[in-house]
C-alpha cells in the first residue's frame, strides 16, 4: 500500500508550484501600466516577462540532475529563497535593466519546483495514481496564476505596483518554511550505485523524447505568450479596467484548477494519456482563434465566456509530463523532466517577444493571437508523434 504521507508531499509541492505561477503571471496585468507610464513598447514589456524564462529555462536540466543526486528538499529550499529575493528586487527596480535582472532572479528561484516535484511524484505515488497526482500538483499552478492575475492588479490599484509585487515575497518565505519542514525522500528503494552518471546523455539519446520536447515547446510557448498580452487586449480593445482585465484573464488559469486534475484523473481511469493531450491542444488552438476573431465583437461578456471555456478545456496540457516520467526509470525521472521542461520554456522565453513584435508592427491583437493559434497547431502536429504510456498499453 502506498504511504499516506504522499498526500503531504503532494500538498507541499502544490503550494510551491503556486509560487512559480503567481510570479510567472503577476507581471502580465501590469503591462498596460509599463507601456503607458514608462513608455515601453510591447516588445520591451514582453522582454521583461520573458526574462523570467531565461534563467528558468537555462537551469532546468541542471536542476533535474542535481535533484536526482542531492535530493529535492535542498534544491527547492535554496531556490525558493532566491524567488523571494527576486520579488523584492523587482519591486525596487528603477530602470528597465534592473527590472530585467530582477525578473531573471525570480525565474531562477522558480526553476526548482516542477522538476523536483515530478520526481517526488514518481517516488511516492504508484503508477496508476500518477496522472491524478500530477493533475493535482498542476492545479497549484492554476491557483498561483489566478492569484497573480487578480490579486496583484487589485493591490496595485490600492498601493501601487511596487508594494503589490513586493508583497508576494511573503508567500515565498512561507513556502520556503513548509518545504524545509514537509519534504522528505520517497519510500522506494535507493537508485543503484552510479545511477546518476551519464544520466543526461542517456536521456538525450532516447529518440521517443524529442516529439514531446517539440510539442511542449510550442504548446506552452503559445499559451504563455497568449496569456501575457491578453490583459492588454482587454484594456485597450474592450475598455476594461486593469483589475477587471486581470480577473477575466484569470478565468483561464482558474479553469485549469479544475481541468488539470480532471485530465490526470481521466487519463489514469482510461489508461490512455495521448488522446486527452491532443484534444486539449485542439482546444488551445480554438481558444486563441476565438479571442482573435470572435471576442472583439462580443465585448466583456464574450471574453468572460471564452476565457473560462479555454481554461476548462486545456487540462490535458499537463499529460506529457506524466508520460515523460513513465518513459524513464526512477533514477532518470528528474533529468528527463528537466530536459522536457527546458523545451517547454524555450517557447515561453521566445514567443512573448515575437507576439510583442507582431503587436508593435501591426497594432493588431487579432494578428498576434492568430500567431499564437498557429504555434498551438504546431504543438498538436508534434503531439501526434508522441508515445502513449498509459496503463492500457502496458508501458512501464
* 57 close to 349: Cβ distance less than 8 angstroms: yes
* CA dist., res. 86 & res. 98, Å (int): 11
Whose cell is 492588479? That residue is 153
184-217 as b/e: b if 16+ CB within 10 A: eebeeeebeeebbeebbebbeebeebbbbbbbbb
* CA dist., res. 248 & res. 180, Å (int): 35
* Continuous segment of H or E residues that includes residue 303: helix 299-313
DSSP letters spanning 340-376: HHHHHHHHHHHHHHHHHHHHHHH--HHHHHHHHHHHH
Q: Which residues contact 324 (CB under 8 A, 6 or more apart)?
A: 209, 212, 336, 337, 340
Q: What is the mean pLDDT of residues 36-46?
A: 78
pLDDT of residue 351: 85
212: Cα separation from own chain's centroid:
16
Bin 71: left if φ > 0, else alpha if -120 < ψ < 50, else beta. left
pLDDT of residue 189: 46
Sign of CA dihedral 238, 243, 248, 250: positive
Q: What is the mean pLDDT of the chain?
A: 86
Q: Which residues contact 90 (CB under 8 A, 6 or more apart)?
A: 99, 102, 103, 105, 106, 165, 166
| Cα distances (Å, whole numbers) of residue 175 to 133, 197, 235 | 19, 32, 33
pLDDT of residue 192: 46
Q: What is the mean pLDDT of residues 111-133?
A: 84
Half-sphere exposure of 365 (CA within 13 A, CB side): 21
Task: For residue 227, give the C-alpha cell.
Answer: 496569456
* CA dist., res. 325 & res. 86, Å (int): 30
Asked if the model's pLDDT at residue 196 lies above 60, the reply is: no
Which tens digits make up the pLDDT trace of 66-121? 777 777 888 899 889 999 999 999 999 888 889 899 999 999 999 888 888 888 88
Q: What is the mean pLDDT of residues 327-333?
A: 78
* CA dist., res. 291 & res. 230, Å (int): 9
pLDDT of residue 194: 46
Greatest alpha-carbon pair distance for the chain in Å reads: 62
* Continuous segment of H or E residues that includes residue 104: helix 96-110
pLDDT of residue 332: 79
Which tens digits make up the pLDDT trace of 224-274? 889 888 988 999 999 998 889 888 998 998 898 899 899 989 999 988 899
What percent of the chain shows pLDDT beyond 90?
39
Helical packing angle, 114-124 and 60-70, nearest 10°: 40
What percent of the chain shows pLDDT beyond 70?
94
Q: What is the pTM of this model?
A: 0.76
* CA dist., res. 386 & res. 396, Å (int): 16
Which tens digits make up the pLDDT trace of 262-320? 998 999 998 889 999 999 999 999 999 999 999 999 989 999 999 999 999 998 998 99
pLDDT of residue 395: 43
Least confident of 161-175, 281-295, 338-352, 356-370: 338-352
Whose cell is 515547446? That residue is 217
Per-domain residue ranges of the chain: 6-181+208-393
- Kindly report the length of the chain: 396
Q: Which of 104, 107, 133, 110 is nearest to 120 (CA)?
A: 133
Highest mean pLDDT among 41-45, 121-125, 170-174, 339-343: 170-174
Half-sphere exposure of 113 (CA within 13 A, CB side): 35
Higher local confidence (pLDDT), 39 or 129: 129
Q: Which of 136, 129, 156, 128 is nearest to 28 (CA)?
A: 156
Q: Which CATH architecture has domain 6-181+208-393?
A: Up-down Bundle (1.20)
Asked if the model's pLDDT at residue 144 lies above 50, the reply is: yes
**DSSP 8-state assignment for residue 129:** G
13: Cα separation from own chain's centroid:
14
188: Cα separation from own chain's centroid:
28
pLDDT of residue 60: 78
Amino acid at each position: 500500500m502506498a504511504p499516506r504521507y504522499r498526500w503531504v508531499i503532494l500538498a507541499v509541492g502544490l503550494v510551491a508550484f503556486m509560487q512559480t505561477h503567481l510570479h510567472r503571471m503577476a507581471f502580465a496585468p501590469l503591462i498596460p501600466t509599463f507601456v503607458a507610464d514608462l513608455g515601453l513598447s510591447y516588445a520591451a514589456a514582453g522582454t521583461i516577462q520573458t526574462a523570467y524564462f531565461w534563467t528558468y529555462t537555462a537551469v532546468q536540466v541542471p536542476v533535474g540532475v542535481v535533484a536526482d543526486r542531492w535530493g529535492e528538499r535542498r534544491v527547492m529550499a535554496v531556490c525558493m529563497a532566491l524567488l523571494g529575493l527576486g520579488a523584492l528586487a523587482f519591486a525596487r527596480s528603477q530602470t528597465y535593466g534592473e527590472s530585467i535582472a530582477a525578473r531573471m532572479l525570480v525565474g531562477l528561484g522558480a526553476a526548482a519546483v516542477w522538476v523536483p516535484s515530478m520526481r517526488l511524484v514518481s517516488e511516492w505515488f504508484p503508477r496508476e495514481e500518477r496522472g491524478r497526482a500530477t493533475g493535482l500538483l498542476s492545479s497549484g499552478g492554476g491557483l498561483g496564476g489566478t492569484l497573480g492575475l487578480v490579486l496583484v492588479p487589485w493591490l496595485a490599484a490600492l498601493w501601487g505596483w511596487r508594494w503589490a509585487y513586493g508583497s508576494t515575497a511573503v508567500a515565498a518565505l512561507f513556502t520556503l518554511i513548509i518545504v524545509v519542514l514537509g519534504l522528505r525522500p520517497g519510500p522506494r528503494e535507493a537508485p543503484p550505485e552510479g545511477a546518476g552518471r551519464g544520466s543526461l546523455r542517456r536521456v538525450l539519446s532516447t529518440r521517443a523524447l524529442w516529439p514531446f520536447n517539440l510539442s511542449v515547446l510550442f504548446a506552452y510557448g503559445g499559451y504563455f505568450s497568449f496569456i501575457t498580452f491578453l490583459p492588454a487586449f482587454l484594456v485597450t480593445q474592450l475598455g476594461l479596467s486593469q483589475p477587471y482585465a486581470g480577473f477575466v484573464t484569470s478565468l483561464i488559469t482558474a479553469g485549469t484548477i479544475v481541468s488539470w486534475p480532471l485530465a490526470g484523473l481521466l487519463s489514469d481511469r482510461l489508461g490512455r494519456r495521448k488522446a486527452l493531450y491532443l484534444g486539449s491542444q485542439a482546444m488551445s488552438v480554438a481558444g486563441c482563434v476565438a479571442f482573435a476573431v470572435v471576442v472583439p465583437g462580443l465585448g466583456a461578456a464574450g471574453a468572460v465566456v471564452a476565457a473560462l471555456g479555454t481554461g476548462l478545456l486545456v487540462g490535458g496540457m499537463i499529460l506529457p509530463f506524466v508520460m515523460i516520467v513513465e518513459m524513464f526509470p526512477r533514477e532518470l525521472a528528474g533529468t528527463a523532466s528537466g530536459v522536457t521542461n527546458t523545451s517547454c520554456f524555450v517557447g515561453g522565453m521566445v514567443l512573448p517577444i515575437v507576439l510583442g513584435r507582431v503587436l508593435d508592427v501591426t497594432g493588431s491583437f487579432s494578428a498576434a493571437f492568430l500567431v499564437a493559434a498557429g504555434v498551438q497547431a504546431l504543438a498538436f502536429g508534434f503531439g501526434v508523434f508522441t508515445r502513449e504510456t498509459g496503463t492500457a498499453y502496458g508501458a512501464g
